[in-house]
Amino acid sequence: MKQGRTYLKKEDQVEVIAGKDKGRVGKILKVLPETDQAVVERINMIKRHTKPTEMNQQGQIVEREAPIHVSNLQLICPECTKTGRIGKKILDDGTKVRFCKSCGESIESKS
């Protein structure tokens, strides 16, 4: 399977554009570039049945986030607060930044 490069990063605010959680918004907790997937906060929740162990005497059902493919996510621009396509450009000082194609503003965190 061909691996694509993702434009999404940890802590980005994204909207789900396809699937059972379509229209919901969340923050990326983890990016899995080898499978082109991302784990998004409170999106694509699954129930995981755990067996009883020495530490956990009773088995339990744990609800957690499952990865979702990045093609089903769209970044929300922090400047114009709209979802849109993302471009990459190199600034005069040589740094690479992502920018919103609708408003033209940089998306990189100001830290």
Q: ∠ CA 79-4-25 to the nearest 5 degrees?
A: 35
CATH number of the domain that residue 65 is part of: 2.30.30.30
| DSSP type of residue 35 | T
**Per residue in 11-58, pLDDT tens?**
999 999 999 999 999 999 999 999 999 999 999 999 999 999 888 789
Cβ contacts of residue 27 below 8 Å, gap of 6+?
A: 11, 12, 13, 14, 40, 41
Is residue 36 within 8 Å of 4, Cβ to Cβ? yes
pTM equals 0.86
What does the pLDDT read at residue 111? Answer: 42
What does the pLDDT read at residue 55? Answer: 85
Q: Is residue 7 part of a domain?
A: yes
Cβ contacts of residue 53 below 8 Å, gap of 6+?
A: none
Do residues 87 and 99 both lie within one domain? yes
**Per residue in 47-99, pLDDT tens?**
999 999 888 789 899 999 999 999 999 999 999 999 989 999 999 999 999 99
**What range does the domain containing 26 cover?**
1-49+59-76
